[in-house]
Amino acid sequence: MSVKLTFVSSGDGGGISRSCSFTGFSTVQSRKLAKSLSRSSVRSRMSLKSSKAYSSLQKGAVIWDPKPLQVKKIFEALKKGLNEYLEAHQTELDYLSDRHKDTKRNSRLAFYYDLDKQIRSVERYIRKLEFHISQVEELYEAYCIQCRLRDGATNMKHAFSLSPSTKASRESLVELYKNFQECTEDMCFIEGALEVHLGEFHLKMKGLVGFARLCPGDQYEVSVRLGRQKWRLKGKIETDDSQTWDEEEKIFIPNLHEQFEIKVTELRGLATVLVGVVTCDSINFFTTKPQAIIVDITELGTIKLQLEVLWKAGAG
């Protein structure tokens, strides 16, 4: 697909930045009971989703280090975005319901039934959104429980390491290490489950902004990466200052831990010249309205990349 773009002004869009206390268990028996209850709670909540959704977290997979602070930021942004979707559809439902009443009084049956279908469709989507929000909240609640248990195991390991070494203390340390590993596994498992609920980012290429830096005939390659996902496209500055790009849009699946990395290179025959590399956090993308963003590619901002990001919630 070929996309031709002409810029009038670079003033649109927003900026993108570059880039519980736990006292422990009183006895070994209570530790085992609490561990069993917490893990069964996590697994029961996870069983609602297909194991294919997070196959990388199956038994035997490498466990990475959980990021509770990052997960909290994403959870709060995601919940805010989902509530925006819910409010927007509730407003639409109220509007359609009012028209529905007026149409019923005027006896326009065909239009009345069409509105009735729209209302039922919006009502179904609202129910799905409400269920989606409740799932996200349950996942994060389970995550926080495992995080507190993990912190408690860490604190107790530290306390035992300061006491004289005995057979009982060594056995407790082994048990605590096992508890720590299991909590870490569950946290990573929940992080994978939470990613299933993050929806999609639709990135649309709007071109480069550079005024005197962009000349007719210049060719550029833009690479956008998010974890293992990558979008590479090439563009050319035309004689009328418009731009032609070989792709227009790309869908990215949000990731809890990875940031967007944007790399721009200038193509000069067989040679390539790096223009700049920047990273930006996706935390501000969880909103209902499309966002026009401008990213400074060079340190002085002489060349910028203009994108549009639309987030589509995972409910539906």
pLDDT digits (tens, 9 = 90+) for 132-164: 999 999 999 999 999 999 999 988 888 877 778
Among candidates 207, 308, 211, which has minimal Cα distance to 264?
Answer: 207
- Residue 48 pLDDT: 41
- Residue 193 pLDDT: 93
Q: Residues 175-214: pLDDT tens digits? A: 888 999 999 999 999 999 999 999 999 999 999 998 778 8
Pick the more confident residue, 193 or 110: 193
Report the percentage of the chain scoring pLDDT > 70.
76
d(CA 205, CA 244): 10
169, 160 Cβ separation under 8 angstroms: yes
Q: Residues 211-249: pLDDT tens digits? A: 778 889 999 999 999 999 999 999 999 998 899 999 989
Question: Six-digit token pair at 186?
Answer: 């569950």
Q: Which of 15-19, 32-36, 64-68 has the highest mean pLDDT?
A: 64-68
- Residue 161 pLDDT: 78
251, 309 Cβ separation under 8 angstroms: no
- Residue 210 pLDDT: 85
d(CA 266, CA 36): 57
The number of helices, as runs of H, and strands, as runs of E, in the chain is: 4, 11
- Residue 110 pLDDT: 59
Q: Where are the domains of the chain?
A: 3-17+200-312, 28-195
- Residue 109 pLDDT: 62
How much is the mean pLDDT over the chain? 80
3-class DSSP state for residue 90?
A: helix
3-17+200-312: which CATH number, 2.40.30.170, 1.10.760.10, 2.30.30.40, 2.60.40.150? Answer: 2.60.40.150
CB-based burial label for 187 (10 Å; 0-12, 13-18, 19+): buried
d(CA 55, CA 37): 24
Residue range 52-80: mean pLDDT, rounded: 71
Residue range 29-54: mean pLDDT, rounded: 45
d(CA 282, CA 255): 9
- Residue 168 pLDDT: 81
Question: Phi and psi (nearest 5°) for 251?
Answer: -100, 130
Q: What angle do CA 305, 201, 255 make, to 5 degrees?
A: 105
